[in-house]
Amino acid sequence: MNDFRTNLLLWGLAGVVVVVYGALGFWVFQSRHPVASSPETAFTAKTAYPLAERAAKGWQEDAYLLSATAAWSQATEKGLREGKTSWAFYFLSPLARQIRVFSVTTEEVAGTRTMDALSIPSGIDPSRWQVDSPEVIRLFLERGGQGFLDQHPDGGLHLRLAADEDGRLVWMASSLSSGSKESLSVKIDAQTGEVIG
């Protein structure tokens, strides 16, 4: 009986050692082989949204999304395609009659400010939101954005997802040169990906 207990204890300890060494090996591998940024792994609006929504529902259960924004200062093609930025999501609570902004990065989600809602507009229907931010960036660059940024290295990029005056869900991609004050904007249907302005 003692031999059985001893063997059981030894097997248990061996299992713990295997798990610890496996976890340590995985951590060392990850630290030496970071995940490369790509269209599949980039931090996009759609990957950030569920994190913001969870925080918003914790703030007010009836909260829904009004808009999403992100900005790159002195944007480069490489930086834009990597998608590394923070996203700001604006949520409205009709019951509280307040709007709260949630900032989402790869490391944290935080409610940054709250303001009174002067009206109760309709929110974004997530089922209509089909086009993610990397596609918006690609279309912006193809529709003159690359040339604009080449000519204006001081130009940043601002993305905004919201309903337009006709109630259509759209992306606005805008770049402004801080020096010359020249600008370029591209408007994209967030459901179909069609460039509409």
Question: How does pLDDT run across 26-71, given as a tens digit for each residue?
Answer: 333 333 323 333 444 468 999 999 999 999 999 999 999 999 999 9
Q: How far apart are CA 32 and CA 42, in angstroms?
A: 19
Amino acid found at 161: L
- Domain ranges in the chain? 1-34, 45-189
| pLDDT value, residue 3 | 52
Contact 116, 109 (CB under 8 A): no
Residue 55 φ then ψ, to 5°: -65, -40
Cβ partners under 8 Å of residue 51, min gap 6: 104, 109
Would you list the DSSP string of 162-185? EE-TTS-EEEEEEEE-TTT--EEE
pTM attached to this predicted model: 0.76
For 52, 130, 153, 186, 194, the CA distances from 108, given in Å and listed in that order, are: 10, 25, 30, 30, 33
| pLDDT value, residue 179 | 85
| pLDDT value, residue 23 | 37
| pLDDT value, residue 78 | 75
Contact 187, 172 (CB under 8 A): yes
In which residue ranges of the chain is pLDDT below 70? 1-42, 84
Side-chain half-sphere exposure of 87, counting CA atoms within 13 A: 29
